[in-house]
Amino acid sequence: MLKKFFLVCVGIIAALAVAEILMWIVFFSISYLEQYFNRRQLIKYSEQNVVLCIGESTTAKQYPIQLRRILNKKHKNGFAIIDCGIPGTFLSAISDTVDKDIKLYKPDIAICMMGINDTNNITDDGSFYIENIGNNVKIYKLYKWLSKNYKINLRDRQFSDNRAIRKYIEINPMVGYAVKLFYKGERDRAKQIFQTILKEDHNNEVAYYYLVLNAFFDDRKKGVEMSKKAIERNFMFRRVDYYTWIIEYYYDTDKNISKYYAETASGDKKLVAGPDFYVLVKNIIGSSKRKGIIDKIAKNYSKDVLYGMIALEEMKRKNYKEADKYFEAAKNIRLKYQDEEYNGKYRSIIKKLIDNNIKVICMQYPVRSIEPLKNILKNEKYYDRLIFVNNEDNFKNMLKMKKYNNIFQDQFAGDFGHCTDFGNMIIAENIVDVLEKIVKDSKGI
Q: State which H helix or E strand residue 401 sits in.
A: helix 393-401
Residue 55: band (very low, low, confident or very high) from pLDDT cuts 50, 70, 90: very high
Distinct helix (H) and strand (E) counts, the chain? 21, 5
Higher pLDDT, 216 or 8: 216
Is the per-residue pLDDT at 126 higher than 50?
Answer: no
β-sheet bridge partners, residue 304: none
For residue 18, the model assigns a pLDDT of 78
Q: What is the mean pLDDT of residues 356-382?
A: 96
Q: What percent of the chain has pLDDT over 70?
A: 78
Number of CB atoms found within 10 A of residue 122's CB: 18
Q: Is the pLDDT of residue 146 over 50?
A: no
Q: Which helix (H) or strand (E) holds 306?
A: helix 304-316
Q: What is the pLDDT of residue 190?
A: 92
Percent over 90 (pLDDT), the chain: 48
Question: pLDDT value at position 154?
Answer: 46
Q: Out of 39-48, 253-262, 272-281, 295-304, which region has the weakest mean confidence (pLDDT)? A: 39-48
pLDDT of 411? 87
Question: What pLDDT is stored for residue 127 in this prediction?
Answer: 29
Nearest-CA neighbor of 281 among 310, 315, 311? 310
Distance in angstroms (rounded) separating the CA atoms of residues 417 and 398: 15
Task: Specify whether the CB–CB gap between 91 and 346 falls below 8 A.
Answer: yes
Residue from 128, 85, 76, 131 nearest 110 by CA: 85
More confident residue, 110 or 46: 110
Q: What mean pLDDT value characterizes the chain? A: 82
Listed residue (261, 293, 289) closest to 275, CA to CA: 293
Predicted confidence (pLDDT) per residue in 322-365, tens digit: 999 999 999 998 898 878 889 999 999 999 999 999 999 999 99
Mean pLDDT, to the nearest integer, of 150-161? 44
Residues 68/45, Cβ–Cβ less than 8 Å: no
In this predicted structure, the answer to whether residue 289 has a pLDDT above a threshold of 80 is: no
CA–CA–CA angle 53, 109, 121 (5° rounding): 35
Look at residue 196 in the predicted model and tell me its pLDDT.
94
Q: Tell me what pLDDT residue 371 has.
A: 96
Give the per-residue pLDDT at 40: 61
Rounded CA separation 21/138 (Å): 9
Q: Per-residue confidence at 247, pLDDT binned at 50, 70, 90?
A: very high
Tell me the torsion sign for CA atoms 197, 198, 202, 205: positive
Q: What is the DSSP annotation of 77-101?
A: TTEEEEE---TT--HHHHHHHHHHH
Q: Residue 369 and residue 335: Cα distance in Å, rounded?
A: 10
- Label residue 155 by pLDDT band (50, 70, 90): very low
